[in-house]
Structure 1
Amino acid sequence: MASVKKLISELTRRGPHKVLRGDLAIAGVPGAVYTPRSGTDLPGIALGHGWMTGSRQYRKTLSHLASWGIVAAAPDTERGPLGSERALASDLVTTLQIISEVRLGVGDITVHSRRLGLVGHGFGASAAVLAAADSSPVTVRAAGLLYPAPTSDAVLPAAHNARVPAMILTAPDDLDSITSNALPLRNALHHDLSPDALAKGAEENPVSLRVVEKSTARGFAEGFSVRGFLGDGANDRTTQRMTRAVLTGFLLHQLTGDKKYADFSDPDTALGKIVPLDPTTVADETDPLTRLLSR
């Protein structure tokens, strides 16, 4: 089996598939969808954008995922300064419905309804959590939460109800602050099962919290954005390259079952310089209500 270091190196580069781009608006939701040139029963994800951004700031990321065989779509809703994470969550679920029910390309590309995941950046990570907690009528199999930012009080209780394997990526020294809720989010998503439940065959959903070295929370957004124009640290290529690699490996394992990428789901395994964080070594400043719900 290839080493983690080698897999990371491979996943920083584009995958073997040629990529097609489509318009979600044809199906009723403004946004973009990127697919491999061909394939059936593919995995698919919906990506929630950061605050004051849109799918344009994630084109290379969406295309990167598609080059590795993952259909990747991003709605262009709730882009204003008063955007609602609840409304975006609803649109993420609708987006998953679209890509799993509509034949894509020229009708020869399909997404398997049991291979659906959510990805969110910043504000969009909150939307992804809300969508994972109440994703009916679709079933979400994984959530990639990238540099999550706190939004409303509803997010952490929703995370407690989102029984889904998750990976949280955060920047150094940005675990729990006015701009990041990575640590409280991990603690709300994580569920320790009782010995009785494990004996009955229940499976724990792994929740990993990883620190991306030399990354910035807002650097994952690509190209020009209003926030970047205001000097908010957007468009950092190192952040984008490493985040894409780890996200791709996680999704390939969770959505396709490819055991080659199992380490990307293991909360205790270091992925090169992207190291796992042991939450027990960090002070938990989660609010009392969420701590109670997470017991």
Structure 2
Amino acid sequence: MTRTSTFTRPEPTRGAKDAVAQLSRPGPNTVLRGDLGLVGVPGVVFAPAEGLGLPAIAFGHDWLQPATRYTELLRHLASWGFVVAAPSSHRGALASHARFSADLRTALDTCAGVRLGDGHISVDSRRMAFAGHGIGGGAALLAAATHPRAAAVVTLAPSQTKPSAVEAARAISVPTLHVVAGQDTVAPPGGHAEPIMQAAGGPVTMRTLPKAGHTAFLEGMHWSDLLLATNKDGRSRRLATALMTAFLLHHLCDEDRVDVLVDGKVPGTELLVHTP
């Protein structure tokens, strides 16, 4: 992939601790927010104020959660040069995972198909990824399995879905990162993230955060906190943000300055790499 002049690079780092510190902070770009509903899918879009040939991500929310519970993460990714679309559809207790994955595909294709920000922002269709938390992570796998231009996938505490996220993983050959919560009682890794990883059709990295719970990646408050036993965990959220940012910079933009966060030893995480 060829870099563009608007690609955002991190500063050279002196190791994992320095890389986490840098990539857990916002990047240098001014961020714009837009309404995804203009293309028929409720949700939000965050993007740098300008830039051509940018990478793009479609992000899926967890069960019952509004996209606003990920605002800080979405804005962070945009500040590092990514266009990020987050549908807020299918939030009901019995929501369709298949239809949600279709909305993720629509959101990503929309970002690639139109100029954003009064024509000052465009997306390179070779630099697109799916990501999500919990059920949204499973939906991201469903979306990537049938999207010919997906270049990477990232999940946070991924959950099984129907259709099966495990079966979807078999069809995905692009690099995938699973950030797993070691204290997850909603989607325990042994029944969710681990089978998904083992079924992978392509290279997979699994980073376990031993002290994190399933809801560690959520922001703010919501009535569903009463059901999910939400635990606030700023440290795990910052670490996951840095890992996700580094992985996407590496695989969508050929960035090598933060590779220690992609395949190196990172304090506070347990690394497992799986290559089929």
Same fold (TM over 0.5): yes
Structure whose CA Rg is larger? 1
- What does the per-residue CA deviation read over 1:104-132, in whole Å, with 9 as the maximum and x for residues that have no partner? 11211111100000111000111011111
Aligned in 2, Cα 1:117/1:153: closer, same or farther, shift over 3 Å?
closer
Counterpart of 2:119, as a letter, is G
Q: What secondary structure is seen at the aligned counterpart in 2 of 1:273?
A: coil
Match of 2:20 among 8, 25, 35: 8
- What does the per-residue CA deviation read over 1:259-290, in whole Å, with 9 as the maximum and x for residues that have no partner? 11333332xx22232220367xxxxxxxxxxx
Match of 2:93 among 72, 81, 103: 81
Aligned twin of 1:186: 197
Aligned twin of 1:277: 272
Q: What secondary structure is seen at the aligned counterpart in 1 of 2:154?
A: strand
What is the CA–CA distance in structure 2 between the aligned matches of 1:172 and 1:214, rounded to whole Å?
6
What is the CA–CA distance in structure 2 between the aligned matches of 1:123 and 1:71, rounded to whole Å?
22
- What does the per-residue CA deviation read over 1:120-161, in whole Å, with 9 as the maximum and x for residues that have no partner? 10001110111111114xx00010011011233622111101
Instruction: Between 168-177 and 112-121, report the one with greater CA deviation.
Output: 168-177
TM-score normalised by L of structure 1: 0.83
What is the CA–CA distance in structure 1 between the aligned matches of 2:189 and 2:247, rounded to whole Å?
27
* Contact preservation (8 Å) 1:43, 1:256: yes
CA RMSD of aligned residues (A): 2.1
Gaps of 5+ in 2: 1-11
Q: What secondary structure is seen at the aligned counterpart in 2 of 1:277?
A: strand
Match of 1:172 among 182, 186, 193: 182
Counterpart of 2:266, as a letter, is L
Q: What secondary structure is seen at the aligned counterpart in 2 of 1:260?
A: coil
Q: CA deviation at 1:180?
A: 5.1
* Contact preservation (8 Å) 1:49, 1:55: yes
**2:74 counterpart of 1:62:** yes
* Contact preservation (8 Å) 1:211, 1:276: yes
Q: CA deviation at 1:230?
A: 3.7
Q: Share of identical aligned residues, percent?
A: 37
Match of 2:238 among 221, 237, 241: 241
Query: Where in structure 2 are the equivalents of 1:122-201 lying within 5 Å?
Result: 122-136=134-148, 139-152=149-162, 154-174=164-184, 177=188, 181-189=192-200, 191=201
TM-score normalised by L of structure 2: 0.89
**Runs of 4+ with deviation above 3 angstroms:** 173-180
Counterpart of 1:152, as a letter, is K
- What does the per-residue CA deviation read over 1:49-105, in whole Å, with 9 as the maximum and x for residues that have no partner? 000012111111100100111111100111110111111111111011111111111
Aligned in 2, Cα 1:234/1:100: closer, same or farther, shift over 3 Å?
farther
Aligned twin of 2:249: 252
* Contact preservation (8 Å) 2:112, 2:125: yes
* Contact preservation (8 Å) 1:17, 1:66: yes
What is the CA–CA distance in structure 1 between the aligned matches of 2:190 and 2:42, rounded to whole Å?
28
Aligned twin of 1:31: 43
Aligned twin of 2:110: 98
Q: What secondary structure is seen at the aligned counterpart in 1 of 2:240?
A: helix
